[in-house]
Structure 1
Amino acid sequence: MSTFSIKPITTADEQAAFIAVPAYVYRDNPHWVAPIESSIAKQFAAENSFFQYGKLQQFLAYQGDQPVGRVVAAVNDRLIEREGISIGLIGFFECIDNIEIGQALLNAAADWLQQQGMTHARGPIDLSTHNNCCFLVDGFDSDPMLMMPYNPQYYLDIMEANGWQKAKDAYAYDLPLDHPLPNSFERGYKIAQKAGITFRSIHTKGEAFDQDCRQIYELFTTAFAHNWSSSARTEEEFMFEARELQTLVDTDIFVIAEDPKKDSDNKMVGFFMALPDYNIALKQVKGKLNIFGILKFLWYRRKIDQARVLAICTLPEYSRRMVALAVVYLGMKGGTEKKRPYKRSELSWVYEDNMRSRNIIESTGATIYKTYRIYEKALT
C-alpha cells in the first residue's frame, strides 16, 4: 500500500501545484505536449463565465510533499438542464502510474458530486466538451495534434477498476496529402457553384473577423445543437474563444460557403475549419509562453507541415447542393497548393455514431488512427 493523501484545493500554492502536476506525470513521455499553463489557470479564475452556471472542486494527490495527481469535479447546470438528469463531470485528471492514487482521486471527485446531488458522472470532460475532453484509447505512439488530448494507457485501467464504463468513443482520422481527393469532391464543388453558392476565406482582422465569427457561431449552434453531451455556449463565450485563436488562422485552410440569395444578415451556409498543427511548435515551449517560450514558438512554427480539421459544417438543407464536399475540396486544395504545402491532415474528433460526418471523412480516403473515449458511472 502506498502512502498518499488527497486534498481539496484551497490556497494559491495548491493551485500552482495543480497546474504543475502534468509536467511531473509526463516528465519521461516523448509524445506529450504541455498545455499553456496560463490558459489552464484561466479556467479556474473567477472571471471564467463557467461560474455563472456551474461550480467545481479541484483535488490534489500528494506523496509526501510531491503532488502526483489531480482531478476536478464539476457541475454544469446547462448540461443538466439539457439532458434532464443529475449528471456531474470529472476532468483535468492526471496521475502517476499508481492505481490506488488514481482511484482515490476519482472517489474524492465522485463523493463531492454526490454531495451536490448528482446521481451520475461523466468524463473526462474539462467543464464542457467545448474544452479538452476524452481519454486516448489507442494511438499512443504519436504526438497529439493541436487541442487534442493525450494520456498514458494506464489511465484506462484506473477508470475501469473504479467502475467507470464506456459511454461513447470518438475517432481521429489521418489523411496523407500526397494524393488528390477523389473526383467526387471537385464535382461537388462545381455543383455547388452552379447552384449559386460562393466561397471565400475567413476574414482575420477587425470587424470583418467578428462578423464572420458571429455567423459561424449561429451556424455551429444550429448544426450541432443536438451533439451528445454538449452544453450551450453564449455568443460572448464563443467570441472570446475565437479571439484566442485569431492569430493562429491560416486563411488557405479556413473556407466559408455563402448563399447570396439568402438574407444578407444570415448568408453563411457552411464552413471548413482547419488550423495548422501548432503543437509542433508548442511542444518546444513546454507550457510557458514567457519571452523565451514566445521566441521558441516563433522559431518552430516555421516547421509546421500538417494541419488539423476541427469542423466541417453545413446547413442540412444545403446537402443536395454539395456544399460539404465543396468546402472540403477547397480546404484541402488550399492546404496542398501552398508554397510550403501541408503533408498530412488529421480530421478530428468525430463520435463513433455520427455516420453523416464519418461518411464524408472516409470518402476522402482518411482512415481512423486514434480512438478516444468518454466514460460514465452511476453514483448511487
Structure 2
Amino acid sequence: MSFSHNNTFKILPVTTSQQQELFLDVPKVVYANDPNWVSPLRSSIAKQLSDQNTFLTYGKFQQFIAVSSDNKPVGRVVAAVNQRLIDKEKEQLGLIGYFECINNFEIAQSLLDNASEWLRSHNLKIARGPIDLSTHNNCLFLVDGFDSPPMVMMPYNPPYYPEFWEQYGWEKAKDAYAYNFPLDTPLPPEFAKAYRVACKSGVNFRTLRTKGKEFEADCISLYNLFNTAFADNWSSTPRTQEEFVEEAKDLQGLVDPDVFPVAEYNGEMVGFFMGLPDYNIPLKHVNGKLNLPGILKFLWYKRQIDRGRVIAICSLPEYKRKMVPLALIYLGLQAGIEKGKPYKRAELSWVYEDNFPSRKLIAASGGKIYKTYRIYEKAL
C-alpha cells in the first residue's frame, strides 16, 4: 500500500529496520524548533512497537511512514485493532495513533488515508484517536494550552494536528482536562478535617513501598484497585496483572513515596493518590536516549524538578463516606509542600469532561483547568 502526491513524498508500510529508524526519527523533524517539546524515550516507543509487545496477543497494528523525495522522514502513523476494546464496547472500532507530521496537510491526509484503509481492510467501521494502541499509552491531542511544556507522560503536539484531523473529517468524541494546583495556596480546612474523620473511621494511611517484595505486593493491590475503580472508564481496557506489574516496574525508581499515599482498612488497600515528580524536566535534556551521556544529564537536571503530576486519585466507593478521597488529597498535596520538598505546583491530569464527581472534587481543592485535550472519532 503506497500513496504519493506530486512526487514530493510517499507513504510506505514499515517493514524494515531502516524504515523503523525513520519512523522513530519523525518527531525530531516535527519539533526541531519547538521549545516546549520533550522527546519521549526512543527505546520506549520502539518497545511498544516491537513484536515482543504483549498487545500482539490480543491485537494487531500496522505502522506507516511518510518520506520525502530525498528519503527524509516527514510523517508517521499507526493503525491498530485492539480486540479487548472491541469486545468491551461492542463496536467494530479501530485505533489510530503515533501520529506525527510536518505542517503539510497533503502528507497528513495521505497518512490518514492509508491508516483508514488498513482499518477498513480489517472490517472496522469506526476509527478513534489519537490512541497509541491503548489509552494506557500516549493518547489525546492537546487543543488548548500550548504555552507550556507537558508534564511527565502527558501528550504534546503542534496546534495544527487537531486542525488537520478536523479538516480530514474527524469529530470530537470527548475532551479531557489538566488542572493546575499552585502549592503556595493552602487547601480549604475541609480537607484536613476529612483526614481526621478518615483516621477516626479506622482508615490507616501510609506511603507506597518501593522496594522488593513489598513493592510487588503494593503493585498487586494497586492493580486490583485500578480494575475495580476504573473498570468503566471510557475507551479503556483492563490489563492483566503481569502487564500492570511490568509497567509499574518501569516507574519503580521514579516514585517519590511521600507524594504517593495509600489508604488501608483492616490491612486491605482501599484508595491511593498517585503522584509522580515531573521527570520531563530532566528528560528534556537527554534527546530521547538514556545512554551513558543521557543518564548523566538526567541525574544532573533531575535536581531542577520543582513540580509534579497527580496521575490518579482512587477510592473504593464504600470508603468515600469515610472521606478517603479528600484525606488522600490532603496527604498528597501536603507532602508536596513539606520542608525539604522542591514542589511548587502540581498538575492533575487527565480528567474527562463528563467525569463530574472528580471535577467537582478537584475544583473544591483549588485546581483550575489550564490545558484541554481531545480524542476524535470518524466513520470509516
- TM-score higher than 0.5: yes
Match of 2:210 in 1: 204
In the alignment, what sits opposite 1:169? 175
1:60 aligns with 2:71: no
Q: Which amino acid aligns with 2:66?
A: A
SS at match of 1:320: coil
Alignment-mate amino acid for residue 7 of structure 1? L
Once the two structures are TM-superposed, the CA of residue 97 in structure 1 deviates from its matched residue by: 0.2
Q: In structure 2, what is the Cα distance between the partners aligned to 1:317 and 1:144?
A: 34
Aligned to 2:15: 10
Q: Which residue of structure 1 aligns with residue 355 of structure 2?
A: 354
Shift of 1:286: 1.0
SS at the partner of 1:256? strand
The equivalent residue for 1:141 is 147
> Within 2, Cα distance between the matches of 1:275 and 1:350?
16
- Residue-by-residue CA offset, 1:32-89 (whole Å, 9 max, x unaligned): 0000000000011111100000000000011111110000000000000000010000
Distance 2:63 2:12 in 1: 9
Aligned AA for 1:375? Y
Structure-1 residue corresponding to 2:112: 106
Q: How far apart, in 2, do the equivalents of 1:329 and 1:146 lie?
A: 22
Residue 76 of structure 2 corresponds to residue 75 of structure 1: no
Structure 1 residues 220-299: aligned runs within 5 Å: 220-260=226-266, 264=267, 267-299=268-300
- TM-score norm. by structure 1 comes to 0.97
TM alignment of 1:37-48, pairs within 5 A = 37-48=42-53
**Mapping 1:358-377, distance limit 5 Å:** 358-377=359-378
- Residues in 2 aligned to 1:182 and 1:285: alpha-carbon distance in whole angstroms: 39
CA RMSD of aligned residues (A): 0.8
Question: Aligned partners of 1:24, 1:79: CA distance in 2, in Å?
Answer: 32
Post-superposition Cα deviations, 1:19-40, rounded to whole Å, max 9, x if no partner, equal 1110111001110000000000
Aligned position for 1:314: 315
**Structure 1 counterpart of 2:126, which letter?**
H
- Tell me, in whole angstroms, the C-alpha distance in 2 between the residues paired with 1:193 and 1:340: 25
Runs of 5+ consecutive residues of structure 2 not aligned to the other structure: none
Structure-2 separation of matches of 1:359 and 1:218: 25
Helix, strand or coil: the match of 2:133? coil
SS at match of 2:155: coil
**What amino acid is aligned across from residue 308 of structure 2 in structure 1?**
A
In the alignment, the residues of structure 1 paired with residue 275 and residue 339 of structure 2 have an alpha-carbon distance, to the nearest angstrom, of: 15
What is the alpha-carbon distance in structure 1 between the residues aligned to residue 260 and residue 334 of structure 2?
11
Report the AA paired with residue 225 of structure 2. L
Q: Aligned letter for 2:154?
A: M
1:30 aligns with 2:14: no
1:358 partner amino acid:
R
Q: Give the partner amino acid of 2:12.
A: K
Distance 2:106 2:202 in 1: 61
Q: Secondary structure at the match of 2:64?
A: strand
Q: Deviations over 1:327-350 (max 9, x none)?
A: 110011111104033100000000
> 1:294 is aligned with what amino acid?
I
2:348 aligned with 1:343: no
2: CA distance, partners of 1:182 / 1:286: 41
**Aligned residue type for 1:168:** K
The corresponding residue for 1:50 is 55
Secondary structure in 1 matching 2:374: strand
CA distance in 1, matches of 2:339, 2:52: 40
- For residue 143 of structure 1, give the secondary structure of its aligned residue in structure 2: coil
TM-score by length of 2: 0.97
Shift of 1:369: 0.2
Q: Does 1:216 align with 2:222?
A: yes
| Counterpart residue identity of residue 125, structure 2 | T
The question of whether the paired residues in 1 share the 8 Å contact of 2:191 and 2:327 is answered with yes
Instruction: Note if contact 2:281-2:301 (Cα within 8 Å) is conserved in structure 1.
Output: yes
Corresponding position: 1:130 with 2:136: yes
Q: Counterparts of 1:331 and 1:338 in 2: how far apart (Å)?
A: 14
Q: Does 1:89 align with 2:90?
A: no
* Structure 1 unmatched ranges of 5 or more: none
- 1:334 corresponds to 2:335: yes
Of 118, 136, 151 in structure 1, the residue corresponding to residue 124 of structure 2 is 118
Structure 1 segments of 4+ aligned residues over 2 angstroms from their partners: none
**1:178-227 alpha-carbon deviations (Å, 9 max, x no partner):** 01111111011011011000000000000000000100000011000000
User: Could you tell me whether the CA contact under 8 Å between 2:305 and 2:342 is conserved in 1?
Assistant: no
| SS of structure 2 residue aligned to 1:46 | coil
Tell me whether 166-175 or 333-342 shows the greater mean CA deviation.
Answer: 333-342
Kindly state the Cα deviation for residue 275 of structure 1 after the two structures are TM-superposed: 0.3
Distance (Å, rounded) in 1 between the aligned partners of 2:296 and 2:56 = 34
Structure 2 residue 190 is matched with structure 1 residue 184: yes
Q: Find the aligned partners of 1:278 and 1:364 in 2 and give their Cα distance.
A: 24
